C-alpha cells in the first residue's frame, strides 16, 4: 500500500482527507505541525506529501526546504489558504511539485495526487531504493539492513539514527541535531543516548567496532558516515 503523509494542523480537515485517500487505497499518515511532519517524512519515507504552509513550530516553506536540502525528492503537493501569486512562486521555488488552494475540490485533489504519483513512477507501488556503504546495504522501502548479504537486526532508533547519518551524505551531524531529529529532544537536553546508539551500530555493522571505517566520530562535534 502506497504511503502518503498529510502535514496539516486542522485536525478535522486532515482526518477527512486521510479517510478519503484511504478509500482510494492509500495509507495516509497525519502530522499536526511542521516539526512532527519533518520527522515523519524522514521516518516513513512516504511516496507523496500533502503540505500546509501555515503550520505551528515550523512553517511549510521551511519543512519543504529542509527536505530538499537533504536531497529528498519526494513529490510535495502544497495545500494552503494562501492564494497570492508570490506565495505560489515561493512554493515552487522551494521545490513544490503542485499547489492547491483552499477551499478545494476533493476529486480534483485526489486526481492531482494520482498524477504526481504516476509522474514519480510510484503509483500503487513504492520504489524500495537501496543505499550501500562498505559491505552494508539498506533497503529503504522495507527498512531491511544487510551486512555481507545477511540481515542485521536494528532497533527502531538505531535504524532512524543510521538513516539520519545517511541523509547527510557524509557531512558532519552534531549530537544535538541527532537527538532532535531522532528522539525529538529540545535544545536544552544533554545526553549520552546518541553515543550509546552509535556504539551499537558500530558493533552490528563495522568489521572492527573499535576502529570504525564508516560510522566516524568527529571530535567535539558529532558523527558522520563515510561511504568509502
Q: What is the pLDDT of residue 185?
A: 59
Mean pLDDT of all residues in 76-81 = 93
Strands 144-147 and 130-133: unpaired
Residues in the chain: 228
CATH topology of domain 130-225: Arc Repressor Mutant, subunit A (1.10.10)
**CATH class of residue range 3-120:** alpha beta
pTM for this one?
0.57
Model confidence over 17-47: pLDDT tens digits? 999 999 888 999 999 999 999 999 999 999 9
State the greatest distance between any 2 C-alpha atoms of the chain, in Å, as a whole number.
Answer: 58
Tell me the domain boundaries of the chain: 3-120, 130-225
Q: Please give the backbone phi and psi of residue 113, each rounded to the nearest 5 degrees, phi first.
A: -60, -50
Q: What percent of the chain has pLDDT over 70?
A: 93
Pure H helices in 80-211 = 85-93, 106-120, 156-167, 175-178, 193-205
Strands 136-139 and 3-7: unpaired
Chain-centroid distance, C-alpha 147: 24
Residue with cell 520527522: 39
- 2 has which bridge partners? none
Model confidence over 145-197: pLDDT tens digits? 999 889 999 998 899 899 989 888 788 999 888 888 887 755 455 568 889 99
| CA dihedral for 3, 81, 60, 187, sign (positive or negative) | negative
165 half-sphere exposure, CB direction, 13 A CA radius: 25
Amino acid at each position: 500500500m502506497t504511503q502518503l503523509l498529510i502535514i496539516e494542523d486542522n485536525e478535522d480537515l486532515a482526518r477527512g482527507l486521510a479517510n478519503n485517500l484511504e478509500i482510494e487505497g492509500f495509507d495516509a499518515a497525519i502530522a499536526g505541525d511542521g516539526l512532527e511532519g519533518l520527522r515523519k517524512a524522514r521516518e516513513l519515507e512516504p511516496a507523496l506529501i500533502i503540505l500546509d504552509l501555515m503550520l505551528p513550530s515550523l512553517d511549510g516553506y521551511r519543512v519543504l526546504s529542509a527536505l530538499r536540502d537533504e536531497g529528498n525528492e519526494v513529490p510535495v503537493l502544497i495545500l494552503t489558504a494562501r492564494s497570492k501569486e508570490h506565495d505560489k512562486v515561493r512554493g515552487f521555488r522551494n521545490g513544490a511539485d503542485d499547489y492547491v488552494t483552499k477551499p478545494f475540490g476533493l476529486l480534483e485533489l485526489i486526481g492531482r495526487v494520482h498524477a504526481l504519483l504516476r509522474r514519480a513512477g510510484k503509483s500503487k507501488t513504492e520504489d524500495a531504493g537501496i543505499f550501500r556503504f562498505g559491505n552494508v546495504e539498506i533497503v529503504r522501502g522495507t527498512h531491511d539492513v544487510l551486512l555481507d548479504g545477511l540481515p542485521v537486526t536494528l532497533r527502531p532508533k538505531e535504524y532512524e539514527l543510521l538513516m539520519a547519518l545517511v541523509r547527510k551524505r557524509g557531512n558532519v551531524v552534531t549530537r544535538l541535531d541527532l537527538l532532535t531529529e531522532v528522539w525529538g529532544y529540545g535544545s536544552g537536553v544533554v545526553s549520552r543516548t546518541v553515543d550509546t546508539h552509535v556504539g551499537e551500530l558500530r558493533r552490528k555493522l563495522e568489521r572492527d567496532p573499535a576502529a570504525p571505517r564508516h560510522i566516524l566520530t568527529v571530535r567535539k562535534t558529532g558523527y558522520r558516515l563515510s561511504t568509502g
